[in-house]
Amino acid sequence: MVQRTLLIIKPDATERDLIGQILSRVESARFKIVAMKMVHLKPEEARKFYAVHEGKPFLDALVDYMSSGPVVPVVLEKENAILDLRDLVGATNPESAASGTVRDVYGRDIQCNSVHASDAEETAKTETRFFFPDL
């Protein structure tokens, strides 16, 4: 079944000019780019996007980080897109990420791990609508 999912290239990656390298890996993995843009989230937008983490001790730092520079949300499509993208990007903590995954190669630490990837079908729909309400 063809699915859509959301990838966000995070501020640490945009700052290091890694957008093209990350997108190249995504396209090499046969994902189709459906929509993409560059945005600089305001803190209140970042907090709304990560509302699922409300009350968790890391939320304020995550909001500060995600609003610290531009991000590139990208809607991707292919068969089994959600799991395939999660496999491509690797574990949240780059130290635990499989060798050769995006986070292994480009991630700095558990927060500055270069990318966000939706973790489930409903999450992908909600996160996609956040950035691309008309899609």
The CATH number covering residue 92 comes to 3.30.70.141
Is the separation of the CB atoms in 5 and 85 below 8 Å? yes
Is residue 1 very low, low, confident or very high in pLDDT (cuts 50, 70, 90)? confident
Is residue 123 very low, low, confident or very high in pLDDT (cuts 50, 70, 90)? very high
At residue 76, the pLDDT reads: 98
At residue 23, the pLDDT reads: 98
- Average pLDDT of 17-23? 98
Q: Would you tell me the crossing angle of helices 19-28 and 81-89 to the nearest 10 degrees? A: 130
Above 90 in pLDDT, residue 66? yes
- Average pLDDT of 116-127? 97
Is residue 90 very low, low, confident or very high in pLDDT (cuts 50, 70, 90)? very high
Domain that holds residue 55: 2-131
Predicted structure pTM score: 0.96
Q: Domains in the chain: how many in total?
A: 1
Residue at token pair 């640490």: 12
Residue 18 and residue 39: Cα distance in Å, rounded?
Answer: 16
Active site residues: 116
Give, for 9, the enclosing helix (H) or strand (E).
strand 2-9
